[in-house]
């Protein structure tokens, strides 16, 4: 029997079990367990984790798990953050599949990170998204509220250290203007229960060629609603959640997935979310 799980605290509203259940079904793996390991601290629980065939990690353990594993893949090294561990014959390798989930969501939805990109928010997952935009060659504008300007510095530092010459501009929300090829919301603005909030004006949305929102609850944020009504291609955060899980299965089992199958899971997970929340 293959044994997998999710490490984190708390895990009350996690979508991981139903997503991985569906992926294991696509993999043709019937003899498996996917356990929730709700550990506030790692402590003596590390031995249980390392005995698994693989596991996912969420807050607050994405960094402190690093000292307990043997190797970091490039993605995990880049962000000093691990959300997936594979047990390769007793050697434990850490990955960051959040970046895979983001990139493959954009690709599957017909979006692009080349050209002019406006990103709202740059904390947590937003830092990863901004750096992936830099790596893709984007002309990047990052909008952060007053008092959060320092959130942009790690992105600029990464670009300078690694030889990227992208134009990286920092603005406050009320200073946003112009047209953008891609608009990304990497902030919590619009998340349940404040579903009427939107990170940018309707004018900015309509001046964008593609819209991506990291939020998956609600399924269609105010941002995505306006984009759809304006005929602008867009993608919500559930796609990123499912694709990053799919990337974990590719690491664990060597699986490969057709976009149409993943889109079916994304749709089903929205229904599961409505039932759970």
How far is residue 74 from each of residues 80, 100, 129, measured CA to CA in Å?
10, 12, 16
Q: Of all helices (H) and strands (E), which one includes residue 264? A: helix 259-276
Alpha-helical regions (H) of 39-166: 46-50, 74-79, 98-108, 125-135, 153-161
The answer to whether the bond into 171 is cis (omega within 30° of 0) is no
Catalytic residue among 2, 3, 12, 62: 62
Q: CA–CA separation, 241 vs 127, rounded Å?
A: 17
- Both tokens of 256, joined, read 């490969």
**CA–CA dist 72, 82 (Å, integer):** 8
Name the phi and psi angles at 234, rounded to 5. Answer: -155, 170
Asked if 141 and 169 touch (Cβ cutoff 8 Å), the reply is yes
Number of helices followed by number of strands (H, E) in the chain: 10, 12
Is 12 catalytic? The answer is no
The CA distance from 106 to 83, in Å, is 20
Active site residues: 62
């Amino acid at each position: 029997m293959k044994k997998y799980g999710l490490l984190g605290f708390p895990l009350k509203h996690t979508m991981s079990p139903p997503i991985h259940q569906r992926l294991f079904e696509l993999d043709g793996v019937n003899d498996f367990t996917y356990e929730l390991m709700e550990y506030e601290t790692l402590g003596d629980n590390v031995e249980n984790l390392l005995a698994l065939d693989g596991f996912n990690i969420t807050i607050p353990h994405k960094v402190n798990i690093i000292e307990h594993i043997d190797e970091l893949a490039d993605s995990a090294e880049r962000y000093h953050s691990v959300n997936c561990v594979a047990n390769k014959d007793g050697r434990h390798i850490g990955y960051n599949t959040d970046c895979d989930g983001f990139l493959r969501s954009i690709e599957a939805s017909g979006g692009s990170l080349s050209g002019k990109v406006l990103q709202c928010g740059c904390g947590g997952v937003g830092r990863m998204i901004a750096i992936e935009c830099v790596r893709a060659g984007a002309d990047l504008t990052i909008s952060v509220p007053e008092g959060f300007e320092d959130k942009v510095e790690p992105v600029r530092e990464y670009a300078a250290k690694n030889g990227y010459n992208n134009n990286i501009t920092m603005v406050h929300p009320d200073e946003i203007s112009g047209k953008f090829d891609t608009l990304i919301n990497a902030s919590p603005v619009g998340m349940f229960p404040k579903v009427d909030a939107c990170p940018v004006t309707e004018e900015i949305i309509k001046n964008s060629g593609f819209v991506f929102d990291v939020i998956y609850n609600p399924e269609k944020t105010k941002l995505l609603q306006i984009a759809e009504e304006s005929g602008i291609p867009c993608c919500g955060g559930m796609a990123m959640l499912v694709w990053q899980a799919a990337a974990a299965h590719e690491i664990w089992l060597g699986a490969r997935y057709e976009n149409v199958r993943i889109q079916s899971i994304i749709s089903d997970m929205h229904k599961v979310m409505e039932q759970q929340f």
